[in-house]
Amino acid sequence: MNTTRARLQRSTGIAATLALTLGLAACGGGDGDDTPGSADGVTVADIDAVLESDEEVTIEYWTWVPDIQDTVDLFEETYPHITVNVTNAGQSADQYTKLQNAVKAGSGAPDVAQIEYFALPQFALSEAVVPLSEVGLGDLEGEYAASAWDQVSVSGAQYGFPQDTGPMVMFYREDILADLGVEVPETWDDFVEVARAIKADNPDNYITSIDPGDAGGVDSLIWQAGGRPFSVDGTTVGVDFTDEGTQQWTELYDTLVQEELVDVTAGWNDAFWRSFADGKYAMWLTGAWAPGSIRNNIPTSEGLWRAAPMPTYEAGTPMNAENGGSAITVMQQSDKKAAALAFARWMTTSPEAVLSQSQAGLFPATTGIMEDPEFLGTEDPFFGNQKTNEVFVEASQSVSSGWQYLPFQVYANSVFGDTAGQALSNATPLADGLQTWQDEAVSYGAGQGFTMAD
Amino acid sequence: MSTEARTPAPVPTDNTTTPGDPPRTGGPRLSRRPPSSGRTRSSIPLTVVMVAMFVYVLLPLVWLTINATKTNGGLFSSFGLWFADDFALWDNLKALFTYQGSVYPRWLANTVLYAGVGGVGATILATLGGYGLAKYDFPGRRAAFAIVIGAMTVPMTALAVPTFLMFSELGLTNTVWAVLVPALASPFGLYLMYVYAQDSVPDSLLEAARLDGASELRTFLTVSLRLLSPGFVTVLLFSVVATWNNYFLPLIMLSDPKLYPLTVGLNQWNDQAGSSGQGEPVYNLVLTGSLVAIVPLVIVFLFLQRFWQSGLAAGSVKQ
Amino acid sequence: MTSPTKPQHAAPGAPAPEATQPPRRTARRSRYTRQDWAGAGFVAPFLAVFVFSIVAPLLYALYLSFFQDRLIGGSFFTGLANYTKALADPLLHAGLGRVLLFLAVQVPIMIGIALFAALAIDSGRLRGSGGFRIALFLPYAVPSVVAALMWGYIYGEDFGLVGQVFDLFGATPPALLSGTWMLASIGNIVTWSFMGYNMLILYSALRVIPTELYEAAEIDGAGALRTAWSIKLPALRPALLLTVIFSIIGSFQLFNEPNVLRSLAPTTITTYYTPNMYAYNLAFNGQQYNYSAAVAVIVGLITVLVAYAAQRVSNRAETGRKSK
């Protein structure tokens, strides 16, 4: 705790410096006479009071989580004086563009917004979101999974309430592996062998695919291999894809890509789902939120799927990473911060809210539910009545710490396909591809005034 | 061009250096000719080629219509040019109009609003402006005309980013004005109306009206407007289609889905199953929604086609 | 230009910078009457909107392009730095090269087909020509986003219509979404969308060729092809120029189609695939609004220059034809 506090103090200093420099540019107005970065002096007492009072208040909430309205309805039943307007302003990067535009324009942002962990540092840097410590909510650490709390932390301060996480899981088609008579791979070496077996059986089939446009997927795989390419300390930023963990991943995937054992192709489209439906892919390595997507897109595969821990580099040493996951954040532009914070806190800590969201397909970030025997014991018929939550919770607990995202990760991710993705598509050495990505990120960071560590 | 600036006198401009040649032929410009030269022997090879083009043009539309009848699962498990096992068009339509708190009908209404108000407004402004430029001389007229015509070649999408920044300084982003106001300015519409007014409104008529003591506005409303109506319909059609299909400007201007037009909304739905996997795939609704988005325009085309062709002819004969 | 009472004016077309200067009035002031000022009244509403939504953003883009805004350190004046950077930017060059290639290949094909269709429909040798005319024009009613979505589905190598049809015949489908084919695939979508539109402009121009010309040709015993060559084509020149200039502008603006197809081919379609995509991504993914403005200004200028060049070429051809 001591180190946390020290880091926190240091980060407040940095935040103040940042606020000063950014304040110069922030002439768009909308902040009124507040000093940039302050949370209007809102305290925990204010937040509690807004729930108790019966003063009518309406807040705007941007999210793209499907069926979130069900959870919001629960909130409105409990606190009828607070109305929450849910808006789907686009998925991920589309929404961030709009959010960034609103921040730039000085108005037009919602009160509450969903922001994925990878994008959070960017909004933290521009002081667009309220830090929890500033309103006395910095002590909620115990409520959330360690990996989730880690991911809302930027330079020691927390900038949002963890809503869900995506510990990496290996989803596989039990029928395909059984037909081939192969075991479920436990290590990456096993995985490569299974991939070769699948290929040998039918050269049109693959063990899985990798999306050369999806930076997040590759980030997660590097994280899982122990790589820590991004480092952030205030406005000093480092990008380095040559560390040992990253090399471990590039070696593995150079093999998989060059032997054409994984299909390098865009995900999330017509062809991607059809490939699963047709049995062209035997696995999907992705976040624990995937069951909902599988159910919606490939209903014909009911009962054929199973979940297993990610393959490891060293047998018997589980090491995991996160893929996706979001925080619920309160925007500094909001003039109803107390109500907004109260809502965001309720969404991520109240047991009924967490349960409702988990039923809607999110994998919760809250520790309470992860210890709930009912949650753990749920059998999923889509997965042949497997108790998938047990696998997911274990996956969550083995996530390794210390991963950081860049304060301009949204931009860096947008040029992934131009750089590292090219190496995937052309089956050239991944280390070279990552180097071009690194160069691009470093040059952008330097151009934006960050101090780039070498 | 600089040569013109040096010769302010009303001397006809030189045909060889400026593109504004007078019509090369006399006679009634817009008289409709009966289908060519009397002979009606139809050519088999020509027909074959045209039928091939017909198929090429309609194939994607047929594909869209067929696939709008499928469920999400059916889309991923059936042949593209034939129906899936379950015929889900009605379910899709019902879902389309109720999904996400019935946001699609709003998009449809927004699109009608943007295309209607923007299209009609742009046409009125272009008609007034084109008529004013064609039939009157006033200070700055030449400059105004040159700038407006020059603007036709400026890529509007390249303007979108600065327009966004300017509108955001003015607090206009994320309002209907951000889409409507730019839609009102149609340099091409003005140009078409300019050419059309030159040809179809004789100066003698205007002089006669003036001798009767009519004001200029009254003359316009009672005499000129009727003569301009085919051009008006043409410009209206093009403005409405342009606004109906506009994507880039509303994409960057609007953040509230309740203000989206169909194009932006449909693309958002298409991206919805995106990378972090929390989104719900609604490809079936995207396809059904695309089909529904096209139908009104096709109907407008079919109904108005008699009118707009003569108007278009005027613009295409000149440069 | 038919009436002697109406003064001559600058011809439409060349947006030369000189034309933006205020007109010379000194010698002419007395010529303007109240009636003339009424003309200004007719134009004023259009001009107001025009200045607000086109001229002002253009000037604002110019202004912005002289600054730089950093996430750390704020905004400061950089003079022409954004321009020198853009002119040497290999990503911008790549995008420009791509649209120029697109322009050189797709536009002639599309206009060629449109011309053929217009002549065919106008020839009187086609049964049901009205039906063809409407059908060919229909894709214009399809928003380009929707058109790109549809074709994206159709192109799929494995499960798209193309893949399924090739599969039926046991053939290997072309990878229409790969680097080799992508530009052609986009060209197909644009051709599909705008062929009918161009056809209609050309067809309309054909409809107003005076009947006497045809009668004269018929008396001369000219065949259909000769009539098309010596009467129809020359008469179509202005309309053709119009379609070419629109297509040039459209090519430089290319955005919707590649942007939609990007989700299918994220490494083939880079963020700088076309200059317009580059400007968009710089501004909205990278917050480099100022650099983006400089790129927009440069692309705008190039578009104007190319459109102007096309017009000059056309005029020269016309002059040559006349002087024969």
Statement: residue B274 has pLDDT above 60: no
Lowest pLDDT segment from A136-145, C11-20, C299-308:
C11-20
Chains that touch A (3 or more CB pairs under 8 A): B, C
Mean pLDDT (whole number) for B225-242: 86
Contact between A97 and C284 using a beta-carbon 8 Å cutoff: yes
* CATH 3.40.190.10 given to domain A2-165+324-380: yes
Strands A82-87 and A57-62 come out as: parallel
Task: Give the closest of A66, A105, A268 to B275, CB-based.
Answer: A268
* H or E element in which residue A310 lies: none
Q: Which residue has the higher pLDDT, A432 or B207?
A: A432
Mean pLDDT (whole number) for B221-236: 87
Quick: pLDDT tens for A356-390: 998 878 899 999 998 899 999 999 999 999 999 99
A213: DSSP letter: T
Question: Strands across the sheet with A230-233, in order?
Answer: A230-233, A236-239, A451-453
Task: State the CATH architecture for B102-317.
Answer: Orthogonal Bundle (1.10)
Chain A interface test: which of B255, B267, B280 (most A C-beta within 10 Å): B255
What percent of chain B is predicted at pLDDT more than 70? 78
Task: Give the closest of B41, B155, B297 to C303, CB-based.
Answer: B155
Nearest CA in chain A to C278: A415
User: Which residues, numbered 70 to 109 in chain C, qualify as contacts with chain A under a Cβ-Cβ cut-off of 8 Å?
Assistant: 70-75
* H or E element in which residue A451 lies: strand A451-453
User: Which residues, numbered 282 to 301 in chain C, qualify as contacts with chain A under a Cβ-Cβ cut-off of 8 Å?
Assistant: 284-288
Q: Which residue has the higher pLDDT, B1 or A63?
A: A63
3-class secondary structure per residue, chain C:
CCCCCCCCCCCCCCCCHHHHCCCCCCCCHHHCCHHHHHHHHHHHHHHHHHHHHHHHHHHHHHHHCCEEEECCCEEEECCCHHHHHHHCCHHHHHHHHHHHHHHHHHHHHHHHHHHHHHHHHHCCCCCCHHHHHHHHHHHHHCCHHHHHHHHHHHHCCCCCHHHHHHHHCCCCCCCCCCCCCHHHHHHHHHHHHHHHHHHHHHHHHHHCCCHHHHHHHHHCCCCHHHHHHHHHHHHHHHHHHHHHHHHHHHHHCCCHHHHHHCCCCCCCCCCCCCHHHHHHHHHHCCCCHHHHHHHHHHHHHHHHHHHHHHHHHHHHHHHHHHHC
Q: How confident is the model at residue B21 (pLDDT cuts 50, 70, 90)?
A: very low
Contact between A417 and C271 using a beta-carbon 8 Å cutoff: yes
Structure confidence at residue B229 (pLDDT): 85
Mean pLDDT (whole number) for C171-198: 93
Q: How confident is the model at residue B312 (pLDDT cuts 50, 70, 90)?
A: low
Q: Give dist(CA B112, CA A127) in Å, integer.
A: 39
Statement: residue C12 has pLDDT above 60: no
Chain A interface test: which of B278, B283, B285 (most A C-beta within 10 Å): B278
Q: How confident is the model at residue A15 (pLDDT cuts 50, 70, 90)?
A: very low
Q: Give dist(CA C226, CA C217) in Å, integer.
A: 9
Statement: residue C109 has pLDDT above 70: yes
Please check whether residue A100 touches C, CB under 8 A.
yes
Nearest CA in chain C to A273: C159
Please check whether residue C158 touches A, CB under 8 A.
yes
Q: How confident is the model at residue B16 (pLDDT cuts 50, 70, 90)?
A: very low
Task: Give the closest of C70, C73, C271 to A414, CB-based.
Answer: C271
The whole-angstrom distance between B257's CA and the closest CA on chain C is 17
Backbone angles phi and psi of C241, in degrees to 5 = -60, -40
Q: How confident is the model at residue B278 (pLDDT cuts 50, 70, 90)?
A: low
Name, of B56-70, B242-256, B270-284, the range with top average pLDDT. B56-70
The residue extents of the domains of chain B are 45-87, 102-317
Structure confidence at residue A326 (pLDDT): 94
Which residue do the tokens 């305290």 mark? A43
Q: How confident is the model at residue B311 (pLDDT cuts 50, 70, 90)?
A: low
Which residues make Cβ contacts (< 8 Å) with residue B234, sequence separation at least 6? B192, B196, B307, B308, B309, B310, B311, B312, B315
Which residue do the tokens 């205007």 mark? B206
Count Cβ atoms within 10 A of the Cβ of residue C120 and give its class: 0-12 exposed, 13-18 middle, 19 or more buried: buried
Mean pLDDT (whole number) for B88-103: 90
Chains that touch B (3 or more CB pairs under 8 A): A, C
The residue extents of the domains of chain C are 89-323
Statement: residue C99 has pLDDT above 80: yes
Nearest CA in chain B to C216: B37
Nearest CA in chain C to B12: C8
Quick: pLDDT tens for A74-110: 999 999 999 999 988 888 888 998 898 888 778 889 9
Nearest CA in chain B to A98: B255
Contact between B278 and A326 using a beta-carbon 8 Å cutoff: yes
Statement: residue C299 has pLDDT above 80: yes
Backbone angles phi and psi of A320, in degrees to 5 = -130, 175
Quick: pLDDT tens for A265-279: 998 887 888 899 889
Q: How confident is the model at residue B230 (pLDDT cuts 50, 70, 90)?
A: confident
Lowest pLDDT segment from A200-209, A255-264, C118-127:
C118-127
Nearest CA in chain A to C284: A97
Q: Give dist(CA C142, CA B247) in Å, integer.
A: 12
Q: Give dist(CA B12, CA C7) in Å, integer.
A: 9
Quick: pLDDT tens for A171-190: 999 999 999 999 999 999 99
Q: Give dist(CA A151, CA A322) in Å, integer.
A: 9
Task: For domain A167-322+400-453, give the fold.
Answer: D-Maltodextrin-Binding Protein; domain 2 (3.40.190)
Q: How confident is the model at residue C113 (pLDDT cuts 50, 70, 90)?
A: very high
The residue extents of the domains of chain A are 2-165+324-380, 167-322+400-453
Which of chain C's residues have a Cβ under 8 Å away from the Cβ of B120? none
Mean pLDDT (whole number) for B219-228: 89
- pTM of the predicted model as reported, rounded to 2 decimal places: 0.86
Superfamily of domain C89-323: MetI-like (1.10.3720.10)
Statement: residue A22 has pLDDT above 60: no
Mean pLDDT (whole number) for A126-144: 92
Structure confidence at residue B273 (pLDDT): 62
Angle C34-50/B119-135 helices, nearest 10 degrees?
A: 150
Residue C317 CA, distance from chain mean position: 21
Mean pLDDT (whole number) for A54-72: 92
**Residue type at A377 in one-letter notation:** G
ipTM of the complex: 0.84
A185: DSSP letter: P
Q: How confident is the model at residue B290 (pLDDT cuts 50, 70, 90)?
A: very high
Q: Token pair for residue A249?
A: 């991943």
Nearest to A408 by CA among C31, C287, B276, C289: C287
Structure confidence at residue C77 (pLDDT): 94
E-only strand ranges, A227-321: 230-233, 236-239, 262-264, 283-287, 305-309
Quick: pLDDT tens for C225-243: 777 778 888 888 888 988 9
Read out DSSP for chain B? -HHHHH--SSPPPPTTT-S-PPPSS-S-TTPPPPSTTS--PPPHHHHHHHHHHHHHHHHHHHHHHHHTTS-HHHHTSS-TTS--SS--HHHHHHHHHHHHHHHHHHHHHHHHHIIIIIHHHHHHHHHHHHHHHHH---TTHHHHHHHHHHHTTS-HHHHHHHHHHHHHHTT-TTSHHHHHHHHH--HHHHHHHHHHHHHHS-HHHHHHHHHTT--HHHHIIIIIHHHHHHHHHHHHHHHHHHHHT--HHHHHH---GGG--HHHHHHHHHHTT-TTS-SPP-HHHHHHHHHHHHHHHHHHHHHHHHHHHHHHHHHHH--
